[in-house]
């Protein structure tokens, strides 16, 4: 069997396992391995090389993803937690609040009583929204107009205590604008980074890419010790909510071409051109 068909076969096995976990996240490793006709050890190694997660971690991530929708659909928080696949509410409270950045009840109520300070600015790339929690910067997004950015942000937490900018936070926003316009400047602001363990490893690796340079998805996968997880690295880049401060725009395809960017490929290109120009000067 040649390498290409074997790789395709491995992709099929992992895809089938992911689909089964999405239908039933309680299925165990032994069952998944038997379906793939592999030993549990070999299957877990294969699965992790393709996704960056073990099957158990993948199932947990899926439950945390579904809890956000389930909490909004149920009148009782406990019903939403149980529908999302947690055996009992305490299991979610032990892990879930950290992922949501608040208690399940607060998320269910659209972020009720949670304080998030945000502000709008203009830069050469368009409108810019910056938001922070008590921990640090939690959201940086770019768009064509401020109103659309604000509406999208408010839709996530309609009942949060959204605070406008004060003098101190305006200084933070100015630093973000400065990072866009003069990307060689260091950002000395705290970040509220929330993601899976794998995503956070990717994001921290992105922060090590110097301005004026780029890295490929494969190179990032190598740097975090997951050389077979190129696709998972790309997905983690796409999940980044803190634009520019976590510079996912510095990651390119293996041939150097630009791939998708959450805030538009034109903005990605503009950021890279700014950084290249400053690096050359």
Which positions are annotated as active-site residues? Answer: 248
Ramachandran angles phi, psi of 138, nearest 5° = -115, -15
Taking the C-alpha atoms of residue 120 and residue 169, their distance in angstroms, rounded to an integer, is 11
Q: On the CB side of 17, how many CA atoms lie within 13 Å of its CA?
A: 32
Residue with the two structure tokens 């940086």? 140
Dihedral of CA atoms 47, 48, 52, 53 in degrees, nearest 10, equals 90
Q: Write phi, then psi, for 77 (nearest 5 degrees).
A: -60, -40
CA distance linking residue 19 with residue 58, whole number of Å: 11
- Angle at the Cα of 269 from the Cα atoms of 224 and 202, rounded to 5 degrees: 15
Fill in the DSSP letter of residue 249.
G
The maximal CA–CA distance of the chain, rounded, in angstroms, is 65
* Lookup result for tokens 């936070």: 169
């Amino acid at each position: 069997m040649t390498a290409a068909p074997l790789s395709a076969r491995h992709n099929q096995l992992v895809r089938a396992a992911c689909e089964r976990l999405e239908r039933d996240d309680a299925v165990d490793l032994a069952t998944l391995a038997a379906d793939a006709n592999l030993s549990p050890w070999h299957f877990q190694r294969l699965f992790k090389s393709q996704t960056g997660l073990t099957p158990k971690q993948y199932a947990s991530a899926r439950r945390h993803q579904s809890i956000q929708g389930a909490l909004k659909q149920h009148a009782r928080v406990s019903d939403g937690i149980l529908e999302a696949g947690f055996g009992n509410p305490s299991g979610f409270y032990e892990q879930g609040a950290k992922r949501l950045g608040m208690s399940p009840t607060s998320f269910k109520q659209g972020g009720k009583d949670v304080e998030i300070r945000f502000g709008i600015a203009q830069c050469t790339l368009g409108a810019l929204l910056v938001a922070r929690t008590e921990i640090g910067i939690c959201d940086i997004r770019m768009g064509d107009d401020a109103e659309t950015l604000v509406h999208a942000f408010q839709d996530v937490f309609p009942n949060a205590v959204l605070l406008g900018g004060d003098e101190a936070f305006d200084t933070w926003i100015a630093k973000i604008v400065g990072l866009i316009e003069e990307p060689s400047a260091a950002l000395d602001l705290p970040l509220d980074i929330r993601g899976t363990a794998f995503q956070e490893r990717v994001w921290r690796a992105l922060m090590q890419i110097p301005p004026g340079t780029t890295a490929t998805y494969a190179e990032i996968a190598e740097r975090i010790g997951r050389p077979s997880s190129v696709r998972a690295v790309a997905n983690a880049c796409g999940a980044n909510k803190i634009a520019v401060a976590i510079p996912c725009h510095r990651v390119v395809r293996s041939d150097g071409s630009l791939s998708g960017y959450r805030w538009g490929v034109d903005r990605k290109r503009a950021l890279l051109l700014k950084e290249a120009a400053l690096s050359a000067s």
